[in-house]
Amino acid sequence: MLRFPASAHGRSGLRPQSLRVLRSLSVLLALPAALTGCEAALDLAGVEQQSQQASQRTDFYQAMAGNPRVTLLAGNDGVLLASADQGSNWQRRQIASGASIIDLDACGDGSFIALGFDNRLWHSRDDGLSWQSLELPTQEQMMTSTCAPDGSWWVAGSYSTLLSSSDQGDNWEENSLDEDATLTTLQFLDAQQAVITGEFGLVFTSGDGGTSWQQAGSLPDEFYPHASHFASLEEGWVGGLNGFIYHTTDGGESWQRQATPLAAPIFNFSANRDGLFAIGDHSSVLRLAGERWETLPTPNAPVYLRAASSSNDHRLTVAGGRGLLLNLDTRPALAAQAE
């Protein structure tokens, strides 16, 4: 059995499919309906807008992941795009008609897992050409999924529920952090170290590969984290509404809000050799510069960016609503010229 610390909030009797879970899912469900309008024409150095033959205006992307051979991009209605050249060119595929994918990860063996809004987990062993699905054994709403370095699959969501499988979904173990809260991000730093963030500013860490979890401080004002990125158990960033980004260097005991040039929600982080980047609403991409964040040039489009993948060849690929799909050159000199 997994071992968990005593609850800070305890079970309140409110089920996770209450208003709070609806709030947790509101970003995923409301963005396609609410974010409308035309993308602005793009004429910026270091930015390539992707082929509309592969990416269509009816697409609303949510997640991106890659192995050494292919990068996959997934979203609404089973839409799946694949690139064999780190985002320069894309081919259109499909997981399954009607499948709304909310998270996607590449595993150490080169396979992919994709989490659907309907609590189904999809698995591909052939770079996204074919997929097998299984229904997750829980009544809670799952929000995030990841492959651990040891090959195990992890899924987290409402009622601080954690599911893990060490045999590619044949058997699952369900456990809870005993918090009446939704877990929103789950990241393995290596085979032993992992970090979870969630509703009410929750931060939990593990030093034994997820066997046990310890509460590691809390975010200011019960901040709701839409995204997180941890470089170590000591240093990490979380982002959310109003363009807020918080930074810790002491394992979550204290957090400092870093200056950002916008008030749009932050939905994801991605890092490459040029630094750490945050992406969010209103086609926003930010670069960390010291203790503050700077804007990277992107189309002035009233749509969100959520999916992101970066590589060590100075490329950052981002995607979001209305088929917006960009391949950015993140070298500081080129970004400065584009501005």
Q: Kindly report, residue by residue over 98-142, the tens digit of the pLDDT.
A: 899 999 999 999 999 999 999 999 999 999 999 999 999 999 999
Residue 184, pLDDT score:
98
Q: Which residue has the tokens 């793009």?
A: 42
Interior/surface letters 65-104, b for 16+ CB within 10 angstroms, e for the rest:
bbbeebbbbbbbbbbbbbbeebbeebeebebeeebbbbbb
Interior/surface letters 262-294, b for 16+ CB within 10 angstroms, e for the rest:
bebbbbbbbebebebbbbbbbbbbbbbeeeebb
CATH number, domain 61-84+91-278: 2.130.10.10
Using alpha carbons, select from 263, 265, 283, 268 the residue that is nearest to residue 37.
283
- Could you tell me the residue ranges of all domains in the chain? 61-84+91-278
Tokens found for residue 55? 């990416």
What is the Cα–Cα distance from 145 to 136, expressed in whole angstroms? 11
Q: What is the pTM of this model?
A: 0.85
24: confidence class by pLDDT, cuts 50, 70, 90: low
